[in-house]
Amino acid sequence: MMGDLLDRVTAETYASWFRALADPSRVQIVEYLARQARPMSVGELVTAAGLAQSTVSQHLKILTEVRFVLVEAVGTARHYRINEACIACFPSAADVVMGRPAPAPTGGCE
């Protein structure tokens, strides 16, 4: 119905996504992981980003909290990969925020 606000839970989710992407380095990390289309170690991301390991780790923490990036244990290491489901939802979130019709929920983005 026209005039109704976006429900609060969805608004909070979208806001967390926009906050997570408010840093250029995080945008670069998300884009790089999406383009590589494979799990990557922190070391690989450090090399690609040209940032300190602690900085990349902090960015990855933020990105995993909003589920743009998923982490998996590989032995004693951790590998990071893009969350295709969440990334697929993001353009729709941007559309909704810009006043376009909300798409049907697809799951995997919560």
R_g (Cα) of the chain, nearest Å: 15
pTM for this prediction: 0.80
Q: Which parts of the chain sit beneath pLDDT 70? A: 1-3, 91, 95, 101-110
Phi, psi of 79 (to 5 degrees): -115, 145
Angle at which helix 53-65 crosses helix 8-20, to 10 degrees, equals: 160
pLDDT at position 1 is: 41
Angle at which helix 84-97 crosses helix 8-20, to 10 degrees, equals: 110
Q: How many CA atoms lie within 13 A of 82 on its CB side?
A: 20
pLDDT at position 13 is: 86
Supply the CATH classification number for the domain 8-97: 1.10.10.10
pLDDT in tens, 1-30: 456 787 888 888 888 888 999 999 999 999
pLDDT at position 102 is: 61
pLDDT at position 44 is: 96
